[in-house]
Chains A and B, each alone.
Chain A
Protein backbone atom coordinates (compact mmCIF):
# COMPACT_ATOMS: atom_id res chain seq x y z
CA UNK A 1 0.00 0.00 0.00
CA UNK A 2 1.33 3.40 -0.94
CA UNK A 3 1.76 5.76 1.98
CA UNK A 4 2.14 8.83 -0.20
CA UNK A 5 -0.70 11.29 -0.21
CA UNK A 6 -2.24 12.00 -3.60
CA UNK A 7 -4.85 14.76 -3.43
CA UNK A 8 -6.10 13.83 -6.89
CA UNK A 9 -6.94 10.32 -5.63
CA UNK A 10 -9.50 11.54 -3.12
CA UNK A 11 -13.03 10.58 -4.11
CA UNK A 12 -15.33 13.29 -2.85
CA UNK A 13 -19.04 12.62 -2.44
CA UNK A 14 -20.99 14.24 -5.25
CA UNK A 15 -22.09 17.72 -4.38
CA UNK A 16 -25.83 18.35 -4.59
CA UNK A 17 -26.22 21.34 -6.85
CA UNK A 18 -29.44 22.37 -8.53
CA UNK A 19 -28.04 22.28 -12.06
CA UNK A 20 -25.70 19.98 -13.99
CA UNK A 21 -23.33 21.20 -16.69
CA UNK A 22 -22.55 18.46 -19.18
CA UNK A 23 -19.30 19.05 -21.03
CA UNK A 24 -19.56 17.47 -24.43
CA UNK A 25 -16.20 16.21 -25.66
CA UNK A 26 -14.97 15.38 -22.17
CA UNK A 27 -18.02 13.18 -21.61
CA UNK A 28 -18.38 14.39 -18.06
CA UNK A 29 -20.52 16.76 -16.06
CA UNK A 30 -20.20 19.02 -13.02
CA UNK A 31 -22.62 20.61 -10.63
CA UNK A 32 -23.41 24.31 -10.60
CA UNK A 33 -25.11 26.27 -7.85
CA UNK A 34 -26.60 28.76 -10.30
CA UNK A 35 -24.76 31.68 -8.68
CA UNK A 36 -21.08 31.18 -9.46
CA UNK A 37 -20.05 31.43 -13.08
CA UNK A 38 -20.01 28.44 -15.40
CA UNK A 39 -16.24 28.96 -15.62
CA UNK A 40 -15.91 28.55 -11.86
CA UNK A 41 -17.97 25.36 -12.08
CA UNK A 42 -15.94 23.72 -14.84
CA UNK A 43 -12.44 24.68 -13.67
CA UNK A 44 -12.09 21.41 -11.78
CA UNK A 45 -12.05 19.65 -15.15
CA UNK A 46 -8.87 21.33 -16.31
CA UNK A 47 -5.56 19.55 -16.02
CA UNK A 48 -4.02 22.82 -14.94
CA UNK A 49 -6.34 23.82 -12.14
CA UNK A 50 -5.77 27.54 -12.07
CA UNK A 51 -5.25 29.02 -15.49
CA UNK A 52 -5.00 32.74 -14.87
CA UNK A 53 -7.60 34.04 -17.26
CA UNK A 54 -9.07 37.46 -16.58
CA UNK A 55 -12.47 36.09 -15.41
CA UNK A 56 -13.88 39.49 -16.43
CA UNK A 57 -15.09 38.81 -19.97
CA UNK A 58 -12.08 40.32 -21.69
CA UNK A 59 -9.48 37.67 -22.55
CA UNK A 60 -11.53 34.87 -24.09
CA UNK A 61 -9.61 32.04 -22.39
CA UNK A 62 -12.85 30.54 -21.04
CA UNK A 63 -14.81 30.61 -24.31
CA UNK A 64 -17.30 27.73 -24.66
CA UNK A 65 -20.14 26.84 -26.99
CA UNK A 66 -23.54 26.76 -25.33
CA UNK A 67 -25.31 23.80 -26.93
CA UNK A 68 -28.40 23.62 -24.72
CA UNK A 69 -29.83 25.27 -21.64
CA UNK A 70 -30.65 28.65 -20.17
CA UNK A 71 -28.08 31.02 -18.66
CA UNK A 72 -27.99 34.32 -16.82
CA UNK A 73 -25.55 36.94 -18.10
CA UNK A 74 -23.22 38.15 -15.31
CA UNK A 75 -21.56 41.00 -17.23
CA UNK A 76 -20.33 42.16 -20.63
CA UNK A 77 -18.32 39.83 -22.89
CA UNK A 78 -15.68 41.24 -25.22
CA UNK A 79 -17.12 41.28 -28.75
CA UNK A 80 -13.66 40.80 -30.26
CA UNK A 81 -13.15 37.57 -28.28
CA UNK A 82 -16.63 36.28 -29.15
CA UNK A 83 -15.73 36.78 -32.83
CA UNK A 84 -12.57 34.61 -32.68
CA UNK A 85 -12.95 31.76 -35.17
CA UNK A 86 -15.73 33.50 -37.08
CA UNK A 87 -19.35 34.31 -36.24
CA UNK A 88 -20.83 31.71 -33.88
CA UNK A 89 -24.00 32.63 -31.97
CA UNK A 90 -23.37 29.71 -29.57
CA UNK A 91 -19.98 31.08 -28.43
CA UNK A 92 -20.04 32.61 -24.92
CA UNK A 93 -17.45 33.39 -22.25
CA UNK A 94 -18.04 31.02 -19.34
CA UNK A 95 -16.86 33.56 -16.75
CA UNK A 96 -19.80 35.81 -17.64
CA UNK A 97 -22.67 33.32 -17.48
CA UNK A 98 -24.34 31.36 -14.70
CA UNK A 99 -26.60 28.33 -15.08
CA UNK A 100 -30.35 28.91 -15.05
CA UNK A 101 -31.01 25.28 -16.06
CA UNK A 102 -29.05 22.15 -16.80
CA UNK A 103 -26.55 22.99 -19.54
CA UNK A 104 -24.73 21.23 -22.34
CA UNK A 105 -21.54 22.97 -23.41
CA UNK A 106 -18.48 22.35 -25.55
CA UNK A 107 -15.10 23.69 -24.47
CA UNK A 108 -13.55 26.33 -26.71
CA UNK A 109 -10.05 26.08 -28.14
CA UNK A 110 -8.16 27.25 -25.04
CA UNK A 111 -10.08 25.27 -22.43
CA UNK A 112 -9.96 22.13 -24.57
CA UNK A 113 -6.19 22.37 -24.58
CA UNK A 114 -6.05 23.11 -20.84
CA UNK A 115 -8.30 20.12 -20.19
CA UNK A 116 -5.40 17.94 -21.26
CA UNK A 117 -7.44 16.25 -23.99
CA UNK A 118 -6.06 16.12 -27.51
CA UNK A 119 -7.39 18.95 -29.63
CA UNK A 120 -8.94 17.85 -32.89
CA UNK A 121 -12.14 17.28 -34.71
CA UNK A 122 -11.94 13.53 -34.19
CA UNK A 123 -12.00 14.00 -30.43
CA UNK A 124 -15.23 15.95 -30.65
CA UNK A 125 -16.88 13.75 -33.24
CA UNK A 126 -16.50 10.68 -31.06
CA UNK A 127 -19.19 11.98 -28.73
Chain B
Protein backbone atom coordinates (compact mmCIF):
# COMPACT_ATOMS: atom_id res chain seq x y z
CA UNK B 1 0.00 0.00 0.00
CA UNK B 2 1.86 3.04 -1.13
CA UNK B 3 1.94 6.36 -2.88
CA UNK B 4 4.28 5.91 -5.82
CA UNK B 5 5.15 9.37 -7.11
CA UNK B 6 3.93 12.77 -8.26
CA UNK B 7 1.54 12.34 -11.19
CA UNK B 8 0.49 15.82 -12.22
CA UNK B 9 -0.52 19.27 -11.07
CA UNK B 10 -3.42 21.42 -12.25
CA UNK B 11 -2.60 25.14 -12.48
CA UNK B 12 -4.94 28.08 -12.94
CA UNK B 13 -3.89 30.45 -15.69
CA UNK B 14 -5.37 33.77 -16.74
CA UNK B 15 -4.59 33.48 -20.47
CA UNK B 16 -4.62 29.91 -21.72
CA UNK B 17 -2.95 30.67 -25.06
CA UNK B 18 -0.02 32.51 -23.44
CA UNK B 19 0.29 29.72 -20.87
CA UNK B 20 0.42 27.02 -23.54
CA UNK B 21 2.99 29.05 -25.47
CA UNK B 22 5.18 29.19 -22.33
CA UNK B 23 4.94 25.55 -21.30
CA UNK B 24 5.49 24.34 -24.87
CA UNK B 25 8.09 26.73 -26.26
CA UNK B 26 9.98 27.61 -23.05
CA UNK B 27 9.65 24.52 -20.82
CA UNK B 28 9.56 22.17 -23.80
CA UNK B 29 6.33 20.28 -23.11
CA UNK B 30 3.81 19.00 -25.67
CA UNK B 31 0.04 19.52 -25.62
CA UNK B 32 -1.55 16.07 -25.77
CA UNK B 33 -5.22 17.05 -25.42
CA UNK B 34 -7.60 20.00 -25.04
CA UNK B 35 -10.82 19.72 -23.05
CA UNK B 36 -14.16 21.15 -24.16
CA UNK B 37 -13.90 23.25 -20.96
CA UNK B 38 -10.76 24.92 -22.28
CA UNK B 39 -8.29 22.92 -20.19
CA UNK B 40 -5.01 21.90 -21.79
CA UNK B 41 -3.11 18.69 -20.95
CA UNK B 42 0.67 18.60 -21.42
CA UNK B 43 3.56 16.21 -20.95
CA UNK B 44 7.36 16.33 -21.04
CA UNK B 45 9.30 14.23 -23.55
CA UNK B 46 10.69 11.85 -20.91
CA UNK B 47 7.34 11.11 -19.24
CA UNK B 48 5.40 7.98 -20.17
CA UNK B 49 2.00 8.82 -18.69
CA UNK B 50 -0.47 10.87 -20.74
CA UNK B 51 0.20 14.18 -18.98
CA UNK B 52 1.85 15.82 -15.97
CA UNK B 53 0.33 19.31 -16.24
CA UNK B 54 -3.24 20.54 -16.62
CA UNK B 55 -3.74 24.23 -17.42
CA UNK B 56 -7.14 25.53 -16.37
CA UNK B 57 -8.50 28.89 -17.62
CA UNK B 58 -9.32 31.07 -14.59
CA UNK B 59 -9.48 34.64 -13.31
CA UNK B 60 -6.67 33.89 -10.84
CA UNK B 61 -3.27 32.25 -10.90
CA UNK B 62 -2.44 29.38 -8.57
CA UNK B 63 -2.94 25.72 -7.91
CA UNK B 64 -6.15 23.71 -8.28
CA UNK B 65 -4.88 20.30 -7.23
CA UNK B 66 -1.88 18.01 -7.02
CA UNK B 67 -2.20 14.36 -8.00
CA UNK B 68 -0.05 11.41 -6.93
CA UNK B 69 0.00 7.96 -8.47
CA UNK B 70 -0.41 4.95 -6.15
CA UNK B 71 1.05 1.53 -6.87
CA UNK B 72 -2.20 -0.42 -7.33
CA UNK B 73 -5.94 0.14 -7.53
CA UNK B 74 -6.57 -1.52 -4.15
CA UNK B 75 -4.23 1.03 -2.55
CA UNK B 76 -6.84 3.70 -3.22
CA UNK B 77 -9.30 2.10 -0.78
CA UNK B 78 -6.66 1.33 1.84
CA UNK B 79 -5.28 4.88 1.72
CA UNK B 80 -8.79 6.38 1.66
CA UNK B 81 -9.51 4.56 4.93
CA UNK B 82 -6.34 5.90 6.51
CA UNK B 83 -7.06 9.43 5.30
CA UNK B 84 -10.64 9.27 6.62
CA UNK B 85 -9.37 7.91 9.96
CA UNK B 86 -7.11 10.94 10.24
CA UNK B 87 -10.23 13.14 10.16
CA UNK B 88 -10.07 14.43 6.58
CA UNK B 89 -13.09 14.29 4.26
CA UNK B 90 -12.50 11.83 1.44
CA UNK B 91 -14.27 11.89 -1.90
CA UNK B 92 -14.32 8.89 -4.25
CA UNK B 93 -14.66 9.86 -7.92
CA UNK B 94 -15.28 7.50 -10.84
CA UNK B 95 -12.93 6.76 -13.73
CA UNK B 96 -12.87 9.59 -16.20
CA UNK B 97 -13.58 12.34 -13.69
CA UNK B 98 -9.92 13.17 -14.29
CA UNK B 99 -9.08 13.05 -18.00
CA UNK B 100 -7.45 9.74 -19.01
CA UNK B 101 -7.38 8.51 -15.39
CA UNK B 102 -9.04 5.66 -13.55
CA UNK B 103 -11.02 6.23 -10.36
CA UNK B 104 -9.63 8.70 -7.88
CA UNK B 105 -9.61 9.58 -4.21
CA UNK B 106 -9.66 13.30 -3.40
CA UNK B 107 -9.10 15.09 -0.10
CA UNK B 108 -7.56 18.25 1.30
CA UNK B 109 -4.22 18.56 3.04
CA UNK B 110 -4.22 20.43 6.37
CA UNK B 111 -3.04 23.48 4.39
CA UNK B 112 -6.24 23.35 2.32
CA UNK B 113 -4.59 22.23 -0.93
CA UNK B 114 -6.54 19.57 -2.79
CA UNK B 115 -4.66 16.29 -3.28
CA UNK B 116 -5.88 13.50 -5.56
CA UNK B 117 -4.69 9.89 -5.67
CA UNK B 118 -5.03 7.75 -8.80
CA UNK B 119 -3.75 4.31 -9.75
CA UNK B 120 -4.22 4.38 -13.52
CA UNK B 121 -3.55 6.96 -16.19
CA UNK B 122 -3.35 6.32 -19.93
CA UNK B 123 0.19 5.81 -21.14
CA UNK B 124 1.64 7.54 -24.17
CA UNK B 125 5.25 6.49 -23.77
CA UNK B 126 8.30 8.68 -23.75
CA UNK B 127 9.46 10.38 -26.94
CA UNK B 128 12.39 7.95 -27.18
CA UNK B 129 10.43 4.78 -26.53
CA UNK B 130 11.42 1.72 -24.52
CA UNK B 131 13.38 -0.30 -27.07
CA UNK B 132 17.01 0.62 -27.57
CA UNK B 133 16.15 4.29 -26.81
CA UNK B 134 18.22 7.31 -27.75
CA UNK B 135 19.28 9.49 -24.79
CA UNK B 136 17.06 12.34 -26.02
CA UNK B 137 14.62 12.80 -28.90
CA UNK B 138 15.08 14.85 -32.07
CA UNK B 139 11.76 16.55 -31.20
CA UNK B 140 13.30 18.26 -28.15
CA UNK B 141 12.47 21.99 -27.95
CA UNK B 142 12.88 24.93 -25.59
CA UNK B 143 14.45 23.99 -22.27
CA UNK B 144 13.56 20.38 -23.00
CA UNK B 145 12.56 19.49 -19.43
CA UNK B 146 12.67 15.76 -18.69
CA UNK B 147 9.75 15.55 -16.26
CA UNK B 148 7.76 17.30 -13.58
CA UNK B 149 10.02 16.72 -10.59
CA UNK B 150 8.39 18.24 -7.52
CA UNK B 151 6.33 21.14 -6.25
CA UNK B 152 6.38 23.51 -3.31
CA UNK B 153 3.22 24.48 -1.46
CA UNK B 154 2.85 27.72 0.46
CA UNK B 155 1.07 26.68 3.66
CA UNK B 156 -0.86 29.03 5.92
CA UNK B 157 1.36 29.90 8.85
CA UNK B 158 0.64 32.17 11.81
CA UNK B 159 2.22 30.88 15.02
CA UNK B 160 0.68 33.77 16.97
CA UNK B 161 -2.71 32.17 16.26
CA UNK B 162 -1.33 28.68 16.83
CA UNK B 163 -1.56 27.98 13.10
CA UNK B 164 1.25 26.07 11.39
CA UNK B 165 0.06 24.06 8.40
CA UNK B 166 3.67 23.48 7.32
CA UNK B 167 4.05 21.23 10.36
CA UNK B 168 0.51 19.88 9.98
CA UNK B 169 1.13 18.93 6.34
CA UNK B 170 4.46 17.31 7.17
CA UNK B 171 2.85 15.24 9.93
CA UNK B 172 -0.08 14.23 7.69
CA UNK B 173 2.09 13.27 4.74
CA UNK B 174 4.50 11.36 7.00
CA UNK B 175 1.99 9.58 9.23
CA UNK B 176 -0.92 8.96 6.85
CA UNK B 177 0.71 8.67 3.41
CA UNK B 178 4.13 7.34 4.51
CA UNK B 179 6.19 10.18 3.05
CA UNK B 180 9.75 10.54 4.36
CA UNK B 181 10.78 13.93 5.75
CA UNK B 182 14.25 14.47 4.28
CA UNK B 183 14.93 18.01 5.51
CA UNK B 184 13.31 20.54 7.80
CA UNK B 185 13.97 24.13 8.84
CA UNK B 186 13.28 24.97 12.46
CA UNK B 187 12.77 28.49 13.81
CA UNK B 188 10.87 30.53 16.33
CA UNK B 189 11.96 31.77 19.77
CA UNK B 190 13.22 28.38 20.98
CA UNK B 191 13.98 26.85 17.60
CA UNK B 192 11.14 24.37 17.78
CA UNK B 193 8.76 25.68 15.10
CA UNK B 194 8.86 23.83 11.77
CA UNK B 195 8.99 26.55 9.12
CA UNK B 196 9.83 24.39 6.10
CA UNK B 197 9.61 20.69 5.30
CA UNK B 198 10.85 18.56 2.41
CA UNK B 199 9.09 15.26 1.83
CA UNK B 200 9.54 12.38 -0.57
CA UNK B 201 7.98 9.09 -1.61
CA UNK B 202 10.66 8.43 -4.24
CA UNK B 203 14.42 8.41 -3.75
CA UNK B 204 14.91 12.09 -4.53
CA UNK B 205 15.29 14.82 -1.88
CA UNK B 206 11.70 15.98 -2.33
CA UNK B 207 8.46 15.35 -4.14
CA UNK B 208 6.73 18.05 -2.08
CA UNK B 209 8.12 21.00 -0.16
CA UNK B 210 6.03 22.98 2.33
CA UNK B 211 6.95 26.59 3.06
CA UNK B 212 5.13 29.17 5.21
CA UNK B 213 2.95 32.07 4.09
CA UNK B 214 0.07 34.28 5.23
CA UNK B 215 -2.30 32.24 3.06
CA UNK B 216 -2.03 28.91 1.28
CA UNK B 217 -0.95 28.90 -2.36
CA UNK B 218 1.56 27.62 -4.87
CA UNK B 219 5.23 28.50 -4.46
CA UNK B 220 6.46 26.66 -7.56
CA UNK B 221 6.36 23.57 -9.72
CA UNK B 222 9.75 22.19 -10.76
CA UNK B 223 10.96 20.42 -13.87
CA UNK B 224 13.98 18.13 -13.98
CA UNK B 225 17.11 18.86 -16.02
CA UNK B 226 20.35 16.87 -16.18
CA UNK B 227 22.97 19.27 -14.91
CA UNK B 228 24.39 22.79 -14.60
CA UNK B 229 24.70 23.07 -18.37
CA UNK B 230 20.98 22.49 -18.66
CA UNK B 231 20.33 25.13 -16.00
CA UNK B 232 22.51 27.69 -17.82
CA UNK B 233 20.80 26.93 -21.10
CA UNK B 234 17.36 27.29 -19.46
CA UNK B 235 18.38 30.68 -18.06
CA UNK B 236 19.70 31.70 -21.49
CA UNK B 237 16.41 30.78 -23.14
CA UNK B 238 14.39 32.82 -20.65
CA UNK B 239 16.78 35.80 -20.75
CA UNK B 240 16.77 35.77 -24.57
CA UNK B 241 12.98 35.98 -24.61
CA UNK B 242 13.12 39.28 -22.62
CA UNK B 243 9.57 38.49 -21.60
CA UNK B 244 9.68 37.57 -17.97
CA UNK B 245 11.56 38.19 -14.75
CA UNK B 246 13.64 35.34 -13.42
CA UNK B 247 16.29 34.65 -10.81
CA UNK B 248 19.95 33.94 -11.49
CA UNK B 249 21.02 30.28 -11.60
CA UNK B 250 22.03 29.15 -8.13
CA UNK B 251 22.33 26.13 -5.87
CA UNK B 252 19.99 25.20 -3.07
CA UNK B 253 21.54 24.43 0.29
CA UNK B 254 18.42 22.44 1.08
CA UNK B 255 18.23 19.47 -1.34
CA UNK B 256 21.57 20.57 -2.97
CA UNK B 257 19.86 20.98 -6.35
CA UNK B 258 21.13 23.31 -9.06
CA UNK B 259 18.28 25.69 -9.70
CA UNK B 260 16.83 28.37 -11.95
CA UNK B 261 13.46 30.06 -11.38
CA UNK B 262 11.14 31.87 -13.76
CA UNK B 263 7.43 32.71 -13.91
CA UNK B 264 4.78 31.55 -16.32
CA UNK B 265 2.67 34.31 -17.96
CA UNK B 266 0.15 34.16 -15.09
CA UNK B 267 2.80 34.54 -12.41
CA UNK B 268 2.94 30.89 -11.39
CA UNK B 269 6.56 30.21 -10.49
CA UNK B 270 8.42 27.50 -12.41
CA UNK B 271 11.73 26.00 -11.39
CA UNK B 272 14.22 24.01 -13.40
CA UNK B 273 16.02 21.73 -10.95
CA UNK B 274 19.08 19.73 -11.91
CA UNK B 275 20.95 16.87 -10.39
CA UNK B 276 20.00 14.16 -7.94
CA UNK B 277 20.90 16.20 -4.85
CA UNK B 278 21.34 12.97 -2.94
CA UNK B 279 19.82 9.52 -2.77
CA UNK B 280 17.03 9.77 -0.21
CA UNK B 281 16.84 6.17 0.93
CA UNK B 282 14.51 5.32 3.81
CA UNK B 283 17.35 5.12 6.35
CA UNK B 284 18.91 8.49 5.44
CA UNK B 285 19.02 10.68 8.57
CA UNK B 286 16.84 13.79 8.75
CA UNK B 287 18.67 17.01 7.88
CA UNK B 288 17.82 20.12 9.93
CA UNK B 289 18.43 23.77 9.01
CA UNK B 290 18.22 26.50 11.60
CA UNK B 291 16.37 29.73 10.82
CA UNK B 292 19.54 31.83 11.04
CA UNK B 293 20.95 29.79 8.14
CA UNK B 294 17.75 29.86 6.07
CA UNK B 295 19.16 32.20 3.43
CA UNK B 296 22.00 29.73 2.71
CA UNK B 297 19.51 26.89 2.76
CA UNK B 298 17.43 28.60 0.09
CA UNK B 299 20.23 29.98 -2.11
CA UNK B 300 23.61 28.62 -1.10
CA UNK B 301 25.51 30.95 -3.44
CA UNK B 302 23.70 34.06 -2.15
CA UNK B 303 22.28 36.91 -4.15
CA UNK B 304 18.60 36.60 -3.27
CA UNK B 305 16.50 37.76 -0.38
CA UNK B 306 13.45 36.45 1.38
CA UNK B 307 11.10 38.15 -1.05
CA UNK B 308 11.57 34.78 -2.73
CA UNK B 309 9.50 33.12 -0.04
CA UNK B 310 6.86 35.85 0.00
CA UNK B 311 6.09 35.85 -3.73
CA UNK B 312 3.66 33.11 -4.74
CA UNK B 313 0.47 32.52 -6.68
Residues of A within 8 A of B (CB): 48, 51-59, 61, 75-81, 84, 110, 114
Contacts and interface: CB of A to CB of B under 8 A. Distances in A.
Contacts of A59: 61, 263, 267, 269, 311-313
B263 A48 contact: no
Given A52-B247, A80-B62, A110-B310, 5 more contacts: A48-B305, A59-B61, A59-B267, A78-B14, A78-B313
Nearest to A93: B267
Contact of B15 (A54, A75, A84): A75
Contact of A56 (B261, B263, B310): B263
Given A61-B310, A76-B14, A54 B60 contact: no
Contact of A52 (B62, B304, B313): B304
Sorting the interface of chain B by its residue count into under 10, 10 to 19, 20 to 34 or 35 or more gives 20 to 34
A79 B59 CA distance: 6
Contacts of A48: 305, 307
Interface in B264-293: 264-269
B229 interface: no
Contacts of A80: 60-62
B308 interface: yes
> Could you tell me the dominant secondary structure of chain A's interface residues?
loop
Nearest to A114: B307
A56 B311 CA distance: 12
B86 interface: no
B267 A54 contact: yes
B244 interface: yes
Interface string B55-70: 0000111100000000
B188 interface: no
Contacts of A61: 307, 310-311
Given A52-B304, A53-B245, A58 B61 contact: yes
B114 interface: no
A76 B15 contact: yes
Top 8 closest pairs, chain A to chain B, by CB: A58-B267, A54-B267, A58-B61, A76-B14, A80-B60, A56-B267, A54-B263, A79-B59
Nearest to B304: A52
Contacts of A79: 59-60
A86 to B, nearest CB: 13
B215 interface: yes
Contacts of A57: 14, 61, 266-267
Contacts of A54: 61, 245, 263, 267-269, 311, 313
A52 B305 CA distance: 9
A59 B60 CA distance: 10
B245 A52 contact: yes
Contacts of B263: 54-56, 58-59
Contacts of B313: 54, 58-59, 78, 81
A48 B304 CA distance: 11
A84 B215 contact: yes
B311 A52 contact: yes
B307 A56 contact: no
Contacts of B59: 76, 78-79
Nearest to A110: B310
A97 B14 CA distance: 16
B305 to A, nearest CB: 6
Contacts of A53: 245, 307, 311
A55 B304 CA distance: 17
Nearest to A76: B14
Interface string B241-255: 000110100000000
A51 B267 contact: no
Q: Which of A51, A78, A79, A84 has the most CB of B within 10 A?
A: A78
A75 B17 CA distance: 13
Nearest to A113: B310
Nearest to A57: B267
A78 B215 contact: no
